[in-house]
Amino acid sequence: MPKIATQSLASHRDWRRNQLIEAAAAIALESGGAAITVSAVAARAGLSRTSVYEYFCSSSDVVSHVLIGELERYQSFLDIAISSVDSLEAKLEAWVRASLAYITTGDHLLAKGLGALGNNPDLISIFRRKHHELLQPLASVFQQMGVRDIERSLQITQLIVDLAAKKIEKLKESSVENERPQSIEAEISFAIEILHASLPVLKNR
């Protein structure tokens, strides 16, 4: 095996680490986050288990990197959506639309990755911290709108989005394909209407 030049060693390690994370992400998509193990990642990447341990100390360590990477992509997706509009109402709608667009795609790893969290306190802590960061742009919008109980407003918004996402997932599985876009748009619009209707109450609490 040829030696790697010193100046390229760091970039090679970054490349190899990313390769292993991508292998783990592929496993999560196919079989769920619980299927991410050092052995499975090694086999997927065509490496030995020892090689994987050069980059990650455990299966949980691999899972945490997959989740962090996915949440960072999610954050970027939401930030772009909110920054593309000006009014506070439009930012709120953009956040909801972007959230539903992202979490209802076949590529997202959040739901499947969560299955591997189990009772691992470190992974749970990482996820909660990153999830809190996801909600901060929305919290800022609520604050500028004059909402008093921002924490409750975030919880209500997340609940609305989660329920809409579940309904959209069912529509993707059961609805007629050529009618699906209209049905999905109707669910998104309904979720936004519910949130807008809740604003007066949230501002006065």
Distances (CA, A) of 80 to 12, 48, 64, 94, 130: 30, 39, 24, 9, 17
Q: Write the burial class of residue 163 (CB in 10 Å: 0-12 exposed, 13-18 middle, 19+ buried).
A: middle
Q: What is the pLDDT of residues 118-161, one digit of tens each?
A: 677 877 888 888 888 889 999 999 999 999 889 999 999 999 99
pTM of the predicted model as reported, rounded to 2 decimal places: 0.80
- In this prediction, residue 107 carries a pLDDT of 62
Please give the Cα distance from 93 to 23 (Å, whole number). Answer: 35
What is the tens place of the pLDDT at every residue in 165-192?
Answer: 888 888 877 767 777 888 889 999 999 9
**And the tokens for 158?**
């997340």
Mean pLDDT of 29-39: 88
Describe the chain by its helix, strand, coil percentages, rounded to 5: 80, 0, 20
Please tell me the predicted confidence (pLDDT) of residue 175.
65
Question: 112 pLDDT band (50/70/90 cuts)?
Answer: low
Mean pLDDT of 29-34: 84
Distances (CA, A) of 9 to 22, 23, 38, 117, 132: 20, 21, 23, 32, 35
Q: Kindly state the percentage of the chain with pLDDT values over 90.
A: 46
Task: Provide the residue ranges of all domains of the chain, joining segments of one domain with +.
Answer: 6-204
pLDDT of 2 strictly over 60: no
Contact 68, 91 (CB under 8 A): no
Per-residue pLDDT band at 106 (split at 50, 70, 90): low
Superfamily of the domain at 6-204:
Tetracycline Repressor, domain 2 (1.10.357.10)
